[in-house]
Amino acid sequence: MMHNNAPGVTASLQQALAGLNPGQREAVLHQSSPLLILAGAGSGKTRVITVKIAYQIEALGHDPRSILAVTFTNKAAGEMRERAAGLAERAGDVTIRTFHSFGAWMLRRNADVAGLPRGFSIYDDSDAVSLLHSLFPERKRPDLARYSQAISRAKDYCLTPEDDLLEISEDPDLPRIYAAYQKRLEEIGNVDFGDLIMRPVKLLESEPAVAQRLQSRFRSILVDEYQDSNVAQYRLLRALCDQTTFVCVVGDDDQSIYRFRGAEVQNILSFSRIFPGTRVVKLEQNYRSTAPILDLAGAVVARNEGRLGKHLYTERTEGDVPRLILLGDQDQEVSWVIEQVRSCQREDRPGVTAVLYRTNAQSRPFETALLREGIPYRIVGSLRFYEREEVKDAVAFLRFLANPRDEVGFRRIVNKPARGIGAKTLDRLLQHQGVARGDLRRACEYGLGEVSKKAALALKEFLQVFDEMERRLEGDQDAELTPAGEKTLASAVEHLLEISGLSRYHQEQDQIAGTQKLQNLEELVNAASLYPLSREGLVEFLEAIELDSSRDVASSEDARVVLITMHNTKGLEFDRVIITGLEEGLFPRNDDPRELEEERRLFYVAVTRAHQEVTLTSCRRRRLHGRFMDLLPSRFLAEIPRDLVQVESFQGGDRASLQDGSPWQKGTPVYHDDYGSGIVIRSWQAGAERCVEVRFETGMTGQFFPAYDSSLERVAGAENSWGDSW
C-alpha cells in the first residue's frame, strides 16, 4: 500500500511547509513512531493535519488509500478533505470520515459477517425510545428515555447487557431492558449510534480476517480531536492498528469538555503509555488571541491536576486586560450586556460579540432584551433540522423504503397521515413478522384478509407507495442530472412526499398553525439532489442524514451578536466574548473533582474563543426556581492572579464607589460558613471592590469578594482600617 518512489512535492505543499512554525513542522515531518500532537487552542492543528496528509502522499509516496483520517463532525471532515486536496491532488482518495461514518462504512462492507442487511437503518435517540416503548408499552416514554441514554452510555464503553453495568446505572432493570432492546434491534436488522462504534470493535476483535484486511489497508491512521474520544472509539483505534501502523492523534487535553457525552480525557492523557515510543509534539503558539487573553485562560486551567501541561504564547502581545464585572443580579447583567452591544454599535467597532452561558436556559432574558431593543442576534443550539417532526416523517418513509424490516419507521408512518389503521390493526399485522421473516411489507400483505375493508384499502394504498417508489429508484425520466451526469434522488423524494400525502398534510398544518413545515420538506428535497437516483444513493443519503451535524437557526445571519452555550463554542471564534453567570452552583456547577476539572477546561475553551476582548460577569443574586437567591462568585474568579483581570462593580448600571476605609485588613480574623475559621493574609483593591485572600485553619487558602460573599464574616473585635493594597 506504500510506494518508495515519492512523486515529488507540489509547489503548494512546498509553500505550506515553508509557512509552518518549528512545532508544526516537527509534527508534519515525524513518521517513525506513534505521534501525539498536543495542540493548544488556536495553534493551527487543522493546517498540521492536512499538510501531514499531503506530505505523506507527495513526499513519502504513501498510497492515499492507505491513509485513514478520523474526526468528529462532518464539517471538520469536509474541511480536512478540501484542504488536503488543495495540497495534493491524490488526497481525494484518502479515507476521511467521522468515527460514526467510518463505523457505518465498515459495517456495510462487512454486513454479511456482521449479521446485518446492507440497507440497515441507523436509529437516533428518538427511534431508540420508540423501539423500547414497543417492547415495554407499560412504561412511560420519559422513563424509557433514561434507559435509552443508559444503553447509549454503556455502548460508549463497549459494554453488553451481560457485562457489569453498575458504573452506568444502579437500576437493576437495566441489564434486562438493554438485552431485550438489543435483541429486538438485531432482529429487525438495524443499528443505533452506539452500535456504529461497538459493533465494528466486536467485529475486529472476533474476526481476525476482517481485522487483518483493514490493518493491511490502512497503514497510516490520524485522529483529530482525540480528547473527545470515548472508550469504544479508543478500542476501535487500537483494533485497527498492528505493530507497523503509523498512528498519530491530535488533541488538547485542556479542551476535553464532553464527558457527559462519554468522552474520556484519559485516552489522550495515557496515549504515550498505551503506544510505547510515542513522540509528543506541543503546538503552543496561538494565532487567535492576545497575550492577556491567553494568560487568563492558562492561569485557571493550570489548576487542573489531570493535564499534560503546555503554555500558550502569541506574537500579539498587545491587547486590553480582560474585565470582571460584578453585578447585583441577572437583570443588571442583561442591561450591562445590552449597553456593551450598543456601545460597539455607537463606536462602530467591527466584528461579532458572543454572549456565552453555561446552560441554554440562561439565554431567555438576553433574547427578550435583544428583541425588545431591536438588536439583530443569532442563537446557536436550536432544534436540529432532521429532528423536526415533518422531516422525521419523510425520513421514516425513506428508511422503510430502504429496509422493510424497520419497525420503528413503520410504526411512525403506517398511519400518518391518518389512514384508519388503529392499534389493533397494527398489532394484527405485526403478528405476521415471523412468517414474513421480518419484512413488514410482506407482513401487511399477509394480514390484508384479517382486517376491515377500510383498513385493507388503506394498507393497499400504503403499500402502493413503496411499489411505485421501487420503480422510481430503477429510473425516472423526469429526474434532474448531477454534474457527473447521474440522475438525482430529488425527484423521487419529491414524488414520495406527494403520493404519501405528507406534503398535503403538513401544508394543512402550516395553514392552521402558521408554521413552515412544507418549506422544510422542500429543503429535504434539495438535500436529496446531491445523491444519485439508485438504491445505493438512497442508502447513502439516509446515512448522511443520520450523521449530519446540527444546523443553527438564526434571527439574523449577519447579526453581530451571538448567543451561545460554552459547549457550543468549541471550534468557533469571535472578536469579543462575554462569559456570563460566573457564580458557584452555576459555573462551576458542583464540587465533584472530575467535573470541576472539566468545568475549568470549559472555562479555558470559552476564554480562548476571543480574538480581542474577554469580559466576565458575576451576579450577587440570580432568579432561580422563581425567586432570587444569593450566590457566591465562582471559585474560578479567585483562581485568577490579581494582575490578569480588571475588576469593576456596577449597581443599577452605574459604577459603584467604595466607602472610605475597609474592615478587611491583613491579619483580620474571619469565619466562613463552609471553610471554618481563618485569617486574612492579603487585602487589595480590585477595581471598585475589596478582595481578600484568607488562610483557613485547615490549611486551605481562598480569595473572596466580601461584599458578594455573605458566608464570610469578620470575627468580633477586628479593626476597621485599610490593609495592604495592590
> Beta-carbon neighbour count of residue 114 at 10 Å?
19
Phi and psi (nearest 5°) for 373?
-85, -5
CB proximity list for 305: less than 8 A, separation 6 or greater: 597
42 known ligand binder = yes
Residues paired with residue 677 on neighbouring β-strands, in sequence order = 671
- One-letter amino acid of 503: S
* Length of the chain, in residues: 726
How far apart, in Å, do the first and last CA atoms of the chain sit? 65
40 known ligand binder = yes
3-class DSSP state of 601: helix
Q: How far is CA 245 from CA 205, 212, 240, 242, 251, in A?
A: 17, 12, 9, 5, 19
Distance between CA 351 and CA 38 in Å, rounded? 30
343 known ligand binder = no
DSSP string, 504-562: HHHHHHHHHH---HHHHHHHHHHHHTTSBSSHHHHHHHHHHHHHPPP---BS-TT-SEE
43 known ligand binder = yes
3-class DSSP state of 495: helix
CA 597 to chain centre: 19
User: Could you write out the three-class secondary structure of 35-99?
Assistant: EEEEECCCCCHHHHHHHHHHHHHHCCCECHHHEEEEECCHHHHHHHHHHHHHHCHHHHHCEEEEH
Which residue carries 474476526 as its cell? 207
Distance between CA 129 and CA 127 in Å, rounded? 5
| Grid cell of 391 as nine digits | 422531516
DSSP 14: H
449 known ligand binder = no
> Beta-carbon neighbour count of residue 509 at 10 Å?
15
41 known ligand binder = yes
534 known ligand binder = no
434 known ligand binder = no
| Grid cell of 265 as nine digits | 480525557
Catalytic residues: 45-46, 224-225, 255, 609
Residue positions in the annotated binding site for ATP?
Answer: 39-46
Residue positions in the annotated binding site?
Answer: 39-46
